Amino acid sequence: MAAKSYRRKPIAKQKSNSISKWVIRLFAFVFIFSVVVGIYKFRDGFLYYLGFKTDKYSHELSADERKLADIRIYEVLHKHDDKAIGFDVSEYQSEIDWEQTYHIDESFELSFVFIRATAGKNKTDRRFKENWKASKERQLIRGAYHYYRPNENSIEQAENFIKNVKLEKGDLPPVLDIEKLPSKQSIDSLKVGLRRWLKKVEKYYKVKPIIYSGESYYTDFLRDEFSDYPLWIANYNFWRNNLEADWLFWQFTEKAKIEGIEGMVDLNVFNGDKNKLLLKCIR
């Protein structure tokens, strides 16, 4: 009877299978490690949510989206409980019950508010006057901002803001909100226009305006020429927990819920406590 022959697996194939298994294990480890780190990083937020937020979903977001938003909001506020917290509004929030706007989840005091006043060369926020007056009565530290339209005349935009905003002692400096790139001019021309707006507004109010922009936009287009202006930076990155040293304000979410305000609201952290914030106000 002939001896039975056995075929061995090629060595190269055995090595390939071993490498594939090793790669899969590595990816699994990295994934599990990332999840663990994420849970640890936002442990206070998860615990807070599990304890207090199980039945408070917003209709604007899905349940899971609302959960993640609330976890991050609590985590950031918890890490900055020694700093002043505020929000910003415009006509898009409709009518506001200002007497309800004292806290976030009854835990974090709201100390200031930025209110949109104007946009472009001729737009006035439909609710600016009532919001401006009501926030003062509510005893919030208030500030007004202008939404800059890159393709419109910068001097006319500055005049629009000046005509509609009467700043008083105790108000925050005026804010220039720049978020869009121009479609009819170069970046250099945009910068000239921004500088003209800032100079005209500073001359009128006798205080240096604040620049508001997204972090990437500011870094890519504005930082080199406008680093001498106070910054209000928007960055909603889920993994960012702290503001930079040169940020005066950090807008860290657009998904907050505040009693008395319909829909979602932007939240901001000031780089200091309320007493320090008062020192930044007009005197």
More confidently predicted of 176 and 5: 176
CB–CB of 271/243 below 8 Å? yes
CA gap 109, 86 in Å, rounded: 8
Range 244-282 burial, b when 16+ CB lie within 10 A, else e: eeebbbbbbbebbbbeebeebbbbbbbbeeeeebbebbe
Instruction: For 14-63, write each residue's pLDDT tens digit.
Output: 555 566 667 666 666 555 655 444 444 444 443 333 333 333 334 468 88
Does any domain span residue 11? no
Domain identity same for 157 and 58: no
Domain shared by 36 and 99, yes or no: no
Residues 55 and 181 in one domain: no
What are the residues facing 145 on neighbouring strands?
Answer: 116, 175
Catalytic residue among 70, 75, 88, 159: 88
Residue 3 located in a structural domain: no
Is there a single domain that holds both residue 151 and residue 28?
no
Cα→Cα distances 19→10, 14, 279, Å: 15, 9, 62
179, 220, 225, 254: which is the annotated catalytic residue? 179
End-of-domain residue from the set 82, 106, 122: 82
Nearest to 242 by CA among 83, 45, 18, 46: 83
Residue 45 lies in a domain: yes
Same domain assignment for residues 77 and 164: no
**Rounded Cα gap, residues 235 and 127, in angstroms:** 26
How many distinct structural domains can be found in the chain? 2
Residue corresponding to tokens 């001019």: 185
Are residues 148 and 197 located together in one domain of the fold?
yes
Active-site residue 179, yes or no? yes
Q: Do residues 62 and 179 share a domain?
A: no
Verify whether residue 168 is a known catalytic residue: no
% the chain with pLDDT above 70: 79
pLDDT at 226: 98
Whether 221 is covered by a domain: the verdict is: yes
- Summarised one tens digit per residue, pLDDT across range 211-258 is 999 999 999 999 999 999 999 999 999 889 899 999 999 999 999 999
d(CA 101, CA 91): 16
Same domain? For 202 and 109 the reply is yes
**Do residues 242 and 171 share a domain?**
yes
In whole angstroms, give the CA distance from residue 172 to residue 282: 6
